[in-house]
Structure 1
Amino acid sequence: MSEIVKDAWKQYLSQLQLHPLRTKAITSGVLAGCSDAIAQKLSGIKKLQLRRLLLLMLYGFAYAGPFGHFLHKLMDIIFKGEKGKKTVAKKVVLEQLTSSPWNNMVFMTYYGLVVEGRPWGFVKSKVRKDYPTVQLTAWRFWPIVAWMNYQYVPVQFRVLFQSFVGSCWAIFLNLKARTVAIKAA
């Protein structure tokens, strides 16, 4: 079994080297799909909602993976040659003040319009109502992840790390939403 894992990892590293954007996009899509499948099962959904799963995979593939790829390239350009904890702190602050709010807004809009198929007026109202809470919650969790990512993770694995943690985060949020819905019922 360990030979299979070693070979798969070797192949992944090769693809990451040859086709970094494509590999990160596919990885992000697959992790988003796995996350949603787990979240659906843990939240008590009897039959897997395949459409929802595929739309979340599409989000990971078409947006989250490529966005992360180019974000980390941009960070390397902005902080070219800078090292140390001060630079890591600057990267975390910059990410949390720019891409974190943007990504939450994009995801909430995508989820409402595309995944749930809601009308624009409903989605706009829901985002207006829920966005501040979502962003404040994100600022309690994601700076720690960003710090670890910039401090300890090699640049080629940052999107993988972020996508993996994002998958765990999505499962947590799904379960939290289910708990709130059960309490309300």
Structure 2
Amino acid sequence: MSSSVVGNGPHPLLAKYLASLATHPLRTKAITTALLCFLQEVLGSNLAGVPAKRVPKDYPFLFKLLASSHIDTKALKMAIYGFLVSAPLSHFLVGALQKAFAGKTGTGARVLQILTSNLLISPIQASAYLASMAIISGAKSTTDVVKTIQAGFWSVIRVSWIVSPLSMTIAQNYLPLHLWVPFFNSVQFLLGTYFNFKVKKLRLQKEKEERDKDREVELPPRTGLGPVSD
């Protein structure tokens, strides 16, 4: 009687992805990041309850479906950002970090790797992210971009300094090197979707408060005088 042995290797799709990552690392990362950035924008809008853009009645059904799903130019711009900015920057920065600490497994080396990531890589990525978001949101000048970076830098970097050491520690202790990219992509996707949702939710709340204030201003003042009787 023969018995079949079930392999404990990775899922076939994951194996194909890892093979593509090994043979074409930058291209694979760029496509992956573009898709994840696109999904972050779409999911964030849907989860936050952002009103869908109105489409003329005579437009084809496909356009109405895309609009109701929040698949718009902003989502496409986010995909372009992921493909052309986020993925290449992360590829070269993280790749340089891994090469610098290749073969070093001691506690001191691991701590130094985390510090290098927090103090060097995270600020560069945060600045690139904020600059890109400013441009996508319609910044018209370098001054507008710089103001956006200055306004949001410490908020972004504080979160990065919390999440990055935790995810790096998990990767160092529990994951083989070839799984680092999928793991960090997953962490960034979840975190990015959450912040996208929070920003949109706060924006909707602020817009509602402004509408309520405008409505109060438009109401006629009450005199408090009742009907006059003899």
Q: Name the counterpart of 1:134.
A: 156
Picking from 169, 173, 180, the partner of 2:195 is: 173
Compared CA separation, residues 38 and 76, structure 1 to 2 (3 A) = same
Superposition deviation, residue 183 in structure 1: 4.7
Aligned-partner residue type, residue 25 of structure 1? A
Picking from 139, 158, 167, the partner of 2:180 is: 158
Superposition deviation, residue 92 in structure 1: 1.0
Taking the aligned partners of 1:40 and 1:7, their CA distance within structure 2 comes to 32
Superposition deviation, residue 34 in structure 1: 1.6
Pick which of 126-135 and 21-30 moved more: 126-135
Superposition deviation, residue 29 in structure 1: 1.5
Superposition deviation, residue 65 in structure 1: 2.1
Kindly indicate which of the two structures has a greater share of residues assigned to helix: 1
Aligned-partner residue type, residue 152 of structure 1? Y
Q: Is 1:23–2:28 an aligned residue pair?
A: yes
Q: Name the counterpart of 2:107.
A: 85
* Higher Cα Rg, which structure: 2
Compared CA separation, residues 150 and 69, structure 1 to 2 (3 A) = farther
Superposition deviation, residue 12 in structure 1: 1.7
How many residue pairs align between the two structures?
A: 180
Compared CA separation, residues 129 and 43, structure 1 to 2 (3 A) = same
Aligned-partner residue type, residue 133 of structure 1? S
The two structures have a TM-score, normalised by structure 1, of 0.84
RMSD (CA atoms): 2.2
Query: Percent identity, aligned pairs only?
Result: 23
Superposition deviation, residue 160 in structure 1: 2.3
* Structure 1 spans left out of the alignment, 5+ residues: none
Pick which of 22-31 and 88-97 moved more: 22-31
Q: Is 2:48–2:198's contact at 8 Å kept on the other side of the alignment? A: no
Compared CA separation, residues 50 and 149, structure 1 to 2 (3 A) = farther
The two structures have a TM-score, normalised by structure 2, of 0.69
Picking from 96, 101, 112, the partner of 1:74 is: 96
Q: Is 1:100–2:118 an aligned residue pair?
A: no
Picking from 129, 134, 137, the partner of 1:116 is: 137
Taking the aligned partners of 1:27 and 1:83, their CA distance within structure 2 comes to 29
